[in-house]
Amino acid sequence: MSDVPPALTPGFHGRPRPEGVALPPGQYVEDGFPVLSAGPTPNVSEATWSLTVTTEAGASTAWTWADLMALPQETPTVDIHCVTRWSKFGTRWTGVSLDVLLADVESTADFVMVGSYGGYTTNLPVADLLGGKAWIAHAFDGKRLHPEHGGPARLLVPHLYFWKSAKWVRSLTLLPTNRPGFWERLGYHDLGDPWREQRYQGD
Amino acid sequence: MTEPARLGGRYAVRSGWQLATLVDRRRESASAATLVLDVPGWPGHQPGQHVDLRLTAADGYTAERSYSLASVPEGSNRIEVTVQRVADGEVSPYLVGDFPVGSAVEVRGPVGGWFVWDPARDAGTPVLLLAGGSGLVPLMAMARARRRAGDRTPFRLICSVRTAEDQLYPDEIAALVARGDGFEARTIFTRAVSLTALRGPRRLTDSELAAWGWPPELAPRVYVCGPTGFVEAVSRMLVAQGHDPAHVRTERFGPGGG
């Protein structure tokens, strides 16, 4: 007698399927705004916050909070997708496009290491920060970004899994070759495209 | 490892999903159950890691969720996850109540390499475990690994649960303490207590954390797991008490996690 494979989760129905929305594979719709981070929330004030971009040649450009506020502001409304499987539709942010911040930075690097207050890092291709795809965000739903969600300012790269959108962002370091950041060293994907379900290394 | 592979490779999950069979389900509390799964070729895991489960409905719809491993790697194909039923959850009520023993679910993992404590690597440094509700599950895997290894690393566990009925593994925790080998545990209730209780129902206080945890001068490894509100409040207290944020590892589950 051959082994009959056991039935796969019989009696599981799931929620009514969302209609008319684009949900990446393996994700579900979340109406709240869950918080995920690897350690305590760092206490960063706007007075001490700054963002530094360093090229592969070692040249640095820095923006203070006042500098950031003086730049052209955008208000993207985007869907976000967390690797822990929630997706949240139509989130409204205020921030400065990376196209603005990186416009005059001279570099031939293809990769960026993002650094945060508190020590978090994440890596991604430069191409994923340019072309209207990424922002330094400082407000959510028109209100100052709460520290739990990365305030005073976080990276916002909504087309990638949300761990790439580093909270409490403080530095962008341009790299000629790719290096893994915090979660990427621990087995998570270097790019993290939710539509290709790139959760883990090897996906 | 012979070649200097990327660190990611060392922790990378095995790609792809595999079929696991539910071989047993144990009731842990009124709203939680432990699922015993047989996963052919399970490679072992580190205490604190989790697995992804993928459920499939008759029409092909799938739902994926992550659950912490409760069991110690035993060199067998058996793994255990303790699942807390989330009211209105899509997946957890099915797993806790309806998923029939003998049927299959897809499993992927083990996953995660940050929120882990492994006696072979981490023994010696005092450990403080802080659990909010079912955030106890990955911490229990660490405590079980310590006992299994005969390790005597000083452990202190503080559990915060709503009521006595919501406790997970109370008898086993009492037995771990009774061994007298450096494992201490406290449980506080936030919603209701017995009439004879000395402590009223309330959240963990700053002074309780200071008294029942380790002083920051000992530089303990701290693991905090629970709902976001618990993790935020506790990790804020820890940092204010002088613990190095780099030694505080957190894992949170938010709303809609079920």
What is the C-alpha to C-alpha distance for residues A116 and A129, in angstroms, rounded to an integer? 16
- pLDDT at B111 > cutoff 80: yes
Weakest mean pLDDT among A96-100, A110-114, A199-203, B38-42? A199-203
Cβ pair A187:B11 closer than 8 A: yes
What is the C-alpha to C-alpha distance for residues A106 and A108, in angstroms, rounded to an integer? 7
Number of domains comprising chain A? 1
Cβ pair B11:A9 closer than 8 A: no
Contact (CB, 8 A) for A122 and A128: no
Beta strands in B57-182 (DSSP E): 62-68, 78-84, 104-111, 127-132, 155-161
What is the C-alpha to C-alpha distance for residues B161 and B210, in angstroms, rounded to an integer? 19
Contact (CB, 8 A) for A191 and A129: no
Cβ pair B90:A15 closer than 8 A: yes
A and B: number of Cβ contacts within 8 A: 147
Contact (CB, 8 A) for B194 and B200: no
Q: Any idea what the CATH number is for the domain that residue A113 is in?
A: 3.90.420.10
Weakest mean pLDDT among A28-37, B105-114, B197-206, B210-219? A28-37
Which member of A17, A30, A180 has the closest CB to residue B61? A17
Scanning every residue of chain A, which has its alpha carbon at the shortest distance from the alpha carbon of B5?
Answer: A185
Chain B residues in contact with A186 by the CB 8 A cut-off are 7-8, 11, 112-114
Chain B residues in contact with A36 by the CB 8 A cut-off are 252, 254
Cβ pair A8:B56 closer than 8 A: yes
Which member of A12, A42, A86 has the closest CB to residue B56? A12
The secondary structure element, H or E, covering residue B9 is: helix B7-11
A31 in reach of chain B (CB within 8 A): yes
CA dihedral of residues A23, A27, A32, A38 (deg, nearest 10): -130
B4 in reach of chain A (CB within 8 A): no
Residue range A83-101: average pLDDT? 93
Best to test chain A binding among B35, B59, B61 (most A CBs inside 10 Å):
B61
- pLDDT at A76 > cutoff 70: yes
B16-111: CATH topology is Elongation Factor Tu (Ef-tu); domain 3 (2.40.30)
What is the C-alpha to C-alpha distance for residues B96 and B65, in angstroms, rounded to an integer? 14
Which member of B58, B239, B256 has the closest CB to residue A30? B256
Residue range A74-91: average pLDDT? 92
Structural domain boundaries in chain B: 16-111, 119-253
Predicted structure pTM score: 0.82
Distance to chain B for A61, nearest Cα, Å:
28
pLDDT score at A4:
66
**Average pLDDT, whole number, for chain B?**
89
Q: For residue B16, how far is the Cα from the chain centroid?
A: 24
Query: Which carries the bigger pLDDT value, residue B12 or residue A83?
Result: A83
- A28 is a domain residue: no
Query: Which carries the bigger pLDDT value, residue B5 or residue B128?
Result: B128
- Please enumerate in sequence order all residues whose Cβ is within 8 A of that of B169, keeping only pairs 6 or more positions apart, or say none: B28, B136, B140
A18 in reach of chain B (CB within 8 A): no
Cβ pair A8:B257 closer than 8 A: no
Bridge partner list, B67: B51
Residue range B147-174: average pLDDT? 96
Summarised one tens digit per residue, pLDDT across range B162-219 is 999 999 999 999 999 999 999 999 999 998 888 777 788 889 999 999 999 999 999 9
Q: What is the CATH number of domain B119-253?
A: 3.40.50.80
Summarised one tens digit per residue, pLDDT across range B29-60 is 999 999 999 999 899 999 999 999 999 998 88
Bridge partner list, A154: A137
What is the C-alpha to C-alpha distance for residues A150 and A41, in angstroms, rounded to an integer? 8
- A203 is a domain residue: no
Residue range A22-29: average pLDDT? 87
- pLDDT at B26 > cutoff 80: yes
Weakest mean pLDDT among A177-186, B9-18, B165-174? B9-18
Query: Omega of the bond prior to A152 within 30 degrees of 0, cis?
Result: yes
- What ipTM goes with this model? 0.79
| Phi, psi torsion values for A82, nearest 5 degrees | -95, 145
**How many helices (H) does chain A have, and how many strands (E)?**
3, 11
pLDDT score at B254:
52
Which member of A11, A84, A202 has the closest CB to residue B66? A84
Best to test chain B binding among A3, A12, A88, A196 (most B CBs inside 10 Å):
A12
Chain B residues in contact with A7 by the CB 8 A cut-off are 103-104
Cβ pair A28:B256 closer than 8 A: yes
B241 in reach of chain A (CB within 8 A): no
Query: Which carries the bigger pLDDT value, residue A36 or residue B228?
Result: B228
Q: How far from each other are the two terminal CA atoms of chain A, in whole angstroms?
A: 36
3-state secondary structure B38-54: ECCCCCCCCCCCEEEEE
Q: For residue A153, how far is the Cα from the chain centroid?
A: 12
Chain A residues in contact with B223 by the CB 8 A cut-off are none
Confidence grade of residue A3 (pLDDT, cut at 50, 70, 90): low
Residue range A46-60: average pLDDT? 96
- A163 is a domain residue: yes
Weakest mean pLDDT among A66-70, A128-132, A155-159, B14-18? B14-18
pLDDT score at A53:
97
- pLDDT at B2 > cutoff 50: no
User: Domain span at residue A75?
Assistant: 48-196
Confidence grade of residue B9 (pLDDT, cut at 50, 70, 90): very low
Query: Strand pairing of B183-189 and B155-161?
Result: parallel
Chain B residues in contact with A6 by the CB 8 A cut-off are 19, 21, 102-104
Confidence grade of residue B15 (pLDDT, cut at 50, 70, 90): low
- A8 is a domain residue: no
pLDDT score at B77:
94
Phi-psi region of B257 (alpha: psi -120 to 50; beta: other; left: phi over 0): alpha
| Phi, psi torsion values for A38, nearest 5 degrees | -90, -10
Cβ pair A12:B114 closer than 8 A: no
% of chain A residues with pLDDT over 90:
75
Chain A residues in contact with B57 by the CB 8 A cut-off are 9, 12-14
Residue range A130-157: average pLDDT? 95
Summarised one tens digit per residue, pLDDT across range B73-87 is 888 899 999 999 988
Residue range A196-203: average pLDDT? 89
A147 in reach of chain B (CB within 8 A): no
Cβ pair B245:A6 closer than 8 A: no
Bridge partner list, B66: B52
Contact (CB, 8 A) for A123 and A179: yes
B60 in reach of chain A (CB within 8 A): no
A35 in reach of chain B (CB within 8 A): yes
